[in-house]
Amino acid sequence: MRTRMPRVLACGATLALAASLAACGNGSGGGSSDDGRIHVLVYGDASNKVEKQMVDTFNKTSKVKAVLDTIPGADYQQKLQTIINTPQAPDIFFNWGGGSIQPFVKAGLLMPLDDFVKKDPNLDDKFLPSVYNSAVVEGKPYGIPMRGTQPVLLFSNKEVLDKAGVKQPATWDQLLAAVKQLKSEGVTPIALGGGDQWPTLMWFEYVYDRVAGPELFQKALSGDKDAWASADSKKALGMLKELVDTGAFGKNYDSVKYTNGASPALVAQGKAGFELMGSWYYAQQQQDAKDFAAKGLGYSTFPTIPGGKGDPSDVVGNTNNFYSVLKKTKHPEAVAEFLKLMYSDEFVKAQMAIGNLPTTTNTPKFLDTSASPEYSRFQYDLVAKAKSFQLSWDQAFPPSAMTPIHQTVQQFFNGQLDTDGFIKAMQALPTE
Amino acid sequence: MTTQLTSAPPTAAPGKARRRPEDSHTARGTRPGFLWALPATLFFALFALAPLVMVAVLSFMSWNGLGSPQFVGTDNWERILDDPVMINSIWLTLLLTALGVVIQTPLSIVLGVWAAGHQRNRAVLSAVYFVPLLLSATAVSVLWRALLDPNFGIPARMTWLFGDGNLFGEQATAIGVLAFVSTWQFTPFHTLIYQGAARAIPPVLYQAAAIDGAGRYRQFFHITLPQLRNSVITSMILMIVGGLTTFETVLILTQGGPGTDTTISAYYMYQKAFKGFDFGAGSAIALCLVVAATVVSLIVVRVSGYDKMRSDMEGVS
Amino acid sequence: MRHRPNYLAGAGSIVWLVLVGLPLYVMLAATLRTRQDYAKHGPVSFPRDFTLDNYTAAFDSGFGRYFLNTIVVTLCVVGVVLLLVPPLAYAIVRSRSRVTSQVFRLFLLGLAIPAQAVIVPMFYLISEAGLYDNLLGVILPTAAFCLPMSALILSGAMRDISPELFEAMTMDGASPRRMFFQLVVPLSRGGLSTIVVFSALQAWNGFLFPLVLTQSDSTKVITLGLYNFQTEHGVDIPGLLGAVTLSMVPVLLVYLFARRALVQGLMGMGGK
């Protein structure tokens, strides 16, 4: 049985309101998508500069004008979900690909972009496939990459490592040995912002990929509950448990946060040896500890796990952010034109200028213009060569699974859940 | 009706007590009728109760905010009443609320009575005390998270007290931090209530007591406290309701963690509705909270006789 | 007669001052230092690298416009509350009609409605009324959610008015309206300033309603502007706190002003 009760009720209740307030409106404001413009809705933060520039560039030539609306960061997804099925919905909106758009696709709200791609194959060919794929839902593309890629890397304090006679580890065993050595030197081997929960998750993502390959998680994501109970899954959990139990993260990691700068400060000040974090870490350190970022910050991909099924070139992290298009947009041609800007030279240059690393095929031309060319090139090659670029689990699953995932990884690290408890909790996650 | 604009209570205004239609039907004195409450009630009904009714309807539906809601009967209710996290969240909520009332009530009474004095230093200090109330929950949590950081904050300098400083990694200490930060944030407001009430106590009472030789502490317990009774009830209702519905502190300080150890009901509702987009279950939890808080405040009101306590303690009626 | 120094109270107030003051010090200190200084020396230390950049950055990010919007919202919310609540509280305290005591219960119920819970229906209500992305659409629900607490506080204050005064006015044949303006309002100035402070704060710090009910830059309020200091994965703590401090200043001024009004109101009472 289908009902439309809430809206019916809302209409009833608002009739009186509308009548009494009809005369009082102080200007109608923007917001509705039928005002002859395309509304582009993005997550509000420092990167908006480029999005604004793209909108301006677009408006110079286009008859249909675009307007940029920003939603202050923290509650972006909440607000988006509230408005997306209403007249206030935007035409184009920012998202994380994967699970973040899956419910919208299921509800039939989004426009598959294959028609756009047919007319302009560049809307596919100009982007790195490993990135482009994370906005493909049920075989159809739904998003165009629109910011920078953010693979997760293993960062370190070179000075601390040198002092302890430790090298950036290439294998898991080297990592374990480094942990022991650093511990005996009295530093926290690995800084972890466990208070934010998602940094803990990054360890699971890499160890699972290295041990079992990307297929295990893909299976789990498609609803195969047995994947979590497989031998590979248990092996990965055993290795993580061992790492935690040797004291790799110290004792108070759940009270440390990344988002208030505490865990990066541990590394920058030599109180910790390593930290596993997204590539934005470099920029964070440049802001907070300039000298360290220039001289002392080491980075590498995640160590390999000998005997594991995962390819050593695999990466995990945020592949990119994406623009998706609402089916009911009144200006599909204009929208397609706007999306084409996302592989333009101007776009790439502007993103590089604010420290983002775009994932278009013309990016290498501009790598030397980056503030830190060596670091940009390392990342770009990593992503371009990756056999698989696994989108973070909490983004790959639908939004309803995000909180349970965060809780579960935290509970496994602090011992509230054992291997079986973890498996059970992951099996209970909603996959659609 | 004459409009006589004097602020002092009038001494003489001849004429009969005119009854107006909206005025009370009681024989003794003229009292305002329901019409006085009508505008506020209508406004409130439209913007708060109407949405609440929709929430009640939603609690019987399955809806992720996108398609059309589907009617699912008592499904959501069965699910949440069967959910160990939900059951646990109720205990946590009650615990935090009780902690809030027990810590904040005495503290804000003492501070409020103290701040009611007219000395200049008290005025300056109470302005400082007031500042936490001005801060948004985000700022408060950012500040305390920074101050309580195990490596760079206070715990690092006071290891004799905090040990390894893993305040957010254990349930007991995490709850302690939440209770403390709420106290820090909300005590100023309750202090303000008590300060106003304490200033309103007629000085005559103290003068009489002083003549009888009552010391400061006897005056406090025999005059001040009894005179603050209404305010204590008001402030306690606010604390209880506030305690049952706060979630921002949890949201930013602990995110319900470690694990689900500080997932109180209001935060759980937020998670269900806005992280999980399960608006049906979220609405059911929200409704539980509204009912619980209303019942508790009605009990407080009833037990204390607050609703009967018009200005007629001496028996005007 | 009450002028002996009270050492216990003095000591207690100093302990509380430290508890309140330390975080405030951390905040102010952080706003005056660079990110590098903050990260390097930690929150509790003394700033070495003084800078005002955090404040200028806040201004550069469009705070002027947001300030103006927030002021409009706050004034209107306070106005609505002051218009609606005093008659309501008066009726709750003085009326003998059954209906009004039911009304009181209704508002007790309203006290417990979490704004989070009703935000989705509220969104429909406001957008159906054509008030989406309009400051009025923020003002109305914000004011509505201030009513229960304001009613409770103000009726508490009105209950403390001595019954003899009502009796005296009744004998003089005063109508409810005259009693309201000449007795109740002047004598509940303390309560009135509390609800002004309360509703102004709610409006000033309101986040959820503006977030969901507005969209464009021209209707953005300060609290939303603050969030732009938070990037997706990191926070510029000194920048964020600089913006917080700036956004706090007007409310602090209002409080100091309201406080004086409160004190004066009570002094007037003492003189009778």
Domains in chain C: boundaries: 1-51, 55-270
Closest residue of chain A to B56, computed from CA coordinates: A6
pLDDT at A17: 38
Mean pLDDT over all residues of chain A?
A: 89
Highest mean pLDDT among A123-127, A398-402, B129-133: A123-127
Please state the separation of Cα C247 from the chain's center in Å.
13
Q: Which of C91, C90, C76, C80 is nearest to C185 (CA)?
A: C90
User: Is the pLDDT assigned to residue A406 strictly greater than 70?
Assistant: yes
* DSSP assigned state of B68: -
Q: Average pLDDT of B100-129?
A: 86
CB contact under 8 A, C227 and A72: yes
CB contact under 8 A, A252 and B150: yes
Helix (H) or strand (E) holding C20: helix C7-31
For chain B, say whether C182 makes contact (Cβ under 8 Å): yes
**Per-residue pLDDT reduced to its tens digit, A239-278:** 999 999 999 999 999 999 998 889 999 999 999 999 999 9
User: Is the pLDDT assigned to residue A4 strictly greater than 70?
Assistant: no
**Per-residue pLDDT reduced to its tens digit, A356-392:** 999 999 999 999 988 889 999 999 999 999 999 999 9
**Per-residue pLDDT reduced to its tens digit, C138-170:** 999 999 999 998 998 898 888 878 788 888 888
CB contact under 8 A, B200 and C159: no
Distance CA B187, CA B192 (A): 9
The dihedral built from the CA positions of residue B305, B308, B310 and B316, taken in this order, carries a sign that is negative
User: Is the pLDDT assigned to residue C260 strictly greater than 50?
Assistant: yes
**Per-residue pLDDT reduced to its tens digit, A124-144:** 999 999 999 999 999 999 999
- DSSP track, C40-66: HH-TTS--SSB--HHHHHHIIIIIHHH
What does the H/E/C string look like for A139-179? Answer: CEECCEECCCCEEEEEEEEHHHHHHCCCCCCCEHHHHHHHH
* Topology of the domain comprising A150-317+397-427: D-Maltodextrin-Binding Protein; domain 2 (3.40.190)
**Smallest CA–CA separation between A158 and chain C, in Å?**
18
The CATH number given to A31-149+319-381 is 3.40.190.10
Query: Using CB atoms within 10 A of its CB, is residue A257 exposed (0-12), middle (13-18) or buried (19+)?
Result: buried
SS3 state of residue A280: coil
CB contact under 8 A, A29 and C237: no
CB contact under 8 A, A264 and C39: yes
Chains that touch A (3 or more CB pairs under 8 A): B, C
A109 and A86 in contact (C-beta within 8 Å)? no
User: Is the pLDDT assigned to residue B137 strictly greater than 80?
Assistant: no
Phi, psi of B228 (to 5 degrees): -90, 10
CB contact under 8 A, A14 and C225: no
Distance CA C158, CA C198 (A): 17
Paired residues of A151 in beta bridges = A317
C55-270: CATH homologous superfamily? MetI-like (1.10.3720.10)
Q: List CB contacts of A175: < 8 A, sequence separation 6 or more.
A: A169, A303
**Per-residue pLDDT reduced to its tens digit, A27-75:** 333 334 467 899 999 998 878 889 999 999 999 999 999 999 988 766 7
Distance CA A228, CA B197 (A): 61
Mean pLDDT over all residues of chain C?
A: 83
For chain B, say whether C3 makes contact (Cβ under 8 Å): no
Q: Where are the domains of chain A?
A: 31-149+319-381, 150-317+397-427
User: Is the pLDDT assigned to residue B127 strictly greater than 70?
Assistant: yes
Same fold, A31-149+319-381 and A150-317+397-427: yes
**Per-residue pLDDT reduced to its tens digit, B242-287:** 888 788 788 878 988 798 999 999 899 888 888 888 889 999 998 9
User: Is the pLDDT assigned to residue A284 strictly greater than 50?
Assistant: yes
Among A5, A8, A47, A288, most C C-beta atoms within 10 A, so best to mutate, is: A288
**Identity of the residue numbered A127:** F
What is the count of residue pairs from B and C with beta carbons less than 8 Å apart? Answer: 358
Mean pLDDT over all residues of chain B?
A: 82
| Candidate from A11, A28, A290 with C-beta closest to C36 | A290
Q: Write out the two tokens for A340.
A: 């084409």
Query: In the structure, what pLDDT confidence band is assigned to residue B87 with cuts at 50, 70 and 90?
Result: very high
Which regions of A177-327 does DSSP assign to beta strands (E)?
Answer: 188-191, 272-278, 297-300, 315-318, 322-325
Who has greater pLDDT, A6 or A161? A161
Q: Which of C30, A405, A292 is nearest to B257 (CA)?
A: A405
* DSSP assigned state of C200: H
Query: In the structure, what pLDDT confidence band is assigned to residue A13 with cuts at 50, 70 and 90?
Result: very low
pLDDT at C232: 66
**Per-residue pLDDT reduced to its tens digit, C54-109:** 888 877 777 788 889 999 999 999 999 999 999 999 999 888 888 888 888 888 88
CB contact under 8 A, C87 and B32: yes
Query: In the structure, what pLDDT confidence band is assigned to residue B297 with cuts at 50, 70 and 90?
Result: confident
Distance CA A212, CA A387 (A): 14
Domains detected in chain B:
72-304 (1.10.3720.10)
pLDDT at C14: 85
Q: Average pLDDT of A3-21?
A: 39
Query: Using CB atoms within 10 A of its CB, is residue A34 exposed (0-12), middle (13-18) or buried (19+)?
Result: exposed
Q: Average pLDDT of C236-265?
A: 74
User: Is the pLDDT assigned to residue A2 strictly greater than 50?
Assistant: no
User: Is the pLDDT assigned to residue A8 strictly greater than 70?
Assistant: no
pTM of the entire predicted model: 0.86
- DSSP track, B174-214: HHHHHHHHHHHHHHHHHHHHHHHHHHTS-HHHHHHHHHTT-
CB burial of A149-160 (b: ≥16 within 10 Å; e: otherwise) equals: bbbbbbbbbbeb
